């Protein structure tokens, strides 16, 4: 019985674009099925949407979530991974959504380029 189920990338759960409601409902139903059957934590990993520009300048968004709001509403906690500083060797997970007080707001990681791991 799995304690944690990881899906990476999330878009492979549906044959349709997860920005559309029909596909998002499939992702949510699958997540609910896993939780109901195994009582496991579900981790869905996915990229953000493409960078947006305003008059040629990149717009920095606090939460560039890609996918339908059904998915965003369904998840209990969400994080965005960004690098801090001028180098990419110290990425950070920053919480964008968290129900309750049982999650950490910022998780600093150390990236090892030799092993491609954090």
Strands of 17-113, DSSP E: 41-44, 53-54, 57-58, 77-83, 91-98, 106-108
Q: Is the pTM for the entire model greater than 0.85?
A: no
**What's the pLDDT at 113?**
84
The DSSP letter of residue 80 is: E
Per-residue pLDDT of 51-62, as tens digits, reads 888 888 888 888
Structure tokens at 21: 């409601």
């Amino acid at each position: 019985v799995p304690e944690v189920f990881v899906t990476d990338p999330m878009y492979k759960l549906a044959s349709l674009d997860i920005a559309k409601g029909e596909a998002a409902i499939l992702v949510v139903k699958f997540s609910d099925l896993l939780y109901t059957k195994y009582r496991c934590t579900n981790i869905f990993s996915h990229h953000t949407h493409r960078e947006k520009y305003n008059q040629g300048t990149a717009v920095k968004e606090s939460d560039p979530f890609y996918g339908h709001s059904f998915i965003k509403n369904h998840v209990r906690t969400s994080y965005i991974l960004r690098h801090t500083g001028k180098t990419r060797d110290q990425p950070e997970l920053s919480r964008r959504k968290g129900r309750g007080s049982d999650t950490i707001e910022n998780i600093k990681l150390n990236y090892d380029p030799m092993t491609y791991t954090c």
